[in-house]
Amino acid sequence: MDIRLFEETDRPFLRTLYLAARRHNWTWLDGEDWQLEDFDAVILGETVLVAELDGHRVGFAAVLDNDNFLHSLYVDPNAQGKGVGSALLEKVQSRFSSTGALKCLQQNQAAMDFYLKHGWRREAVGESEQGKYVLMHFPLAKRASGNGGR
């Protein structure tokens, strides 16, 4: 597994991956208006990490580095269960300079379980366009102690 920084040549494929992953995982939402170009707005101003497995792009994570905020983590539905999400998450966590944060849609139980398994903690609940979300934190101490970041 290779995790590297986004290159412009990744954009067409990651647009497709983003659309497919949302349709596959966010089944409770009406995705009729979702478009390939939605990816462009989501990553604007963010550091994007791309996961490759056997030379194929299989996922990405987008991070607001200054805020230690994981904004997006998506894995190709055909590559789920192969450690792609874990590798991306570990790379993101290694970038944090203080407690990390993310918002996970409450109805996305698989994602909630994934983050909890990796040492993230529920902090608060809020409301978004896509429904209720859980604000989660990843304490820097977890990474330093070797219990979830490396």
Mind listing the pLDDT tens digit for each residue in 42-61?
Answer: 999 999 999 999 999 999 99
pTM confidence score: 0.86
Which residue, among 50, 56, 52, 46, has the nearest Cα to 6 in the 3D structure? 50
pLDDT of residue 24: 78
Burial per residue of 89-101, b for 16 or more beta-carbon CB atoms within 10 angstroms, e otherwise:
bbbbbebbeeebb
Question: Residue 149: how many CB atoms within 10 A of its CB?
Answer: 23
Instruction: Please check the confidence at residue 23 and state whether its pLDDT lies above 90.
Output: no
Measured CA to CA, the distance from residue 114 to residue 89 in angstroms comes to: 10
Report residue 142's pLDDT band, with 50, 70 and 90 as the boundaries.
low
